[in-house]
Homo-oligomer: A and B are copies of this chain.
Amino acid sequence: MGISETMKAVSDPQRRTILTLLKGSRLSAGEIAAHLPDLSAATVSYHLSILKKATLVREERYKNYIYYELNASVFEQLLLYFSQFIEEPNEENP
């Protein structure tokens, strides 16, 4: 929990690649690793654990596999956070 944790999780390029993969579809850890040929399976697992702690993804076990999927609600929190810096000044409320 915590927006710092979420942002740190999302600021890593490899983890953003994982998030982008999961945008399309639910994938197992192994399928995700197959899309990241520069990383070992252990490293992919490490990144998934970071994303999971930040609740950016959920895991679901099926047979021998662990499937990961996005948790969209956390992205809404990020959107909300950043929108505060854009809101135009309100002249009614000086």
Which of B3, B11, B72, B76 is the one whose CB lies under 8 Å from A7? B11
- Whether, in the assembled complex, A90 has its beta carbon less than 8 Å from a beta carbon of chain B, the answer is no
Query: Does any Cβ of B come within 8 Å of A82's Cβ?
Result: yes
CA distance A8 to B7 in the complex (A): 8
> B-facing mask of A79-94, CB < 8 A → 1, else 0?
1001111100000000
A10 at the interface (CB under 8 A from B): yes
**Contacting residues, chain B, for A85 (C-beta < 8 A):** 19, 23, 70, 72, 75
CB closest residue in chain B, given A22: B85
What is the chain B residue whose CB lies nearest that of A19? B85
Query: Which residues does A use to contact B, with CB under 8 Å?
Result: 3-4, 7-8, 10-13, 16, 19, 23, 70, 72, 75-76, 78-79, 82-86
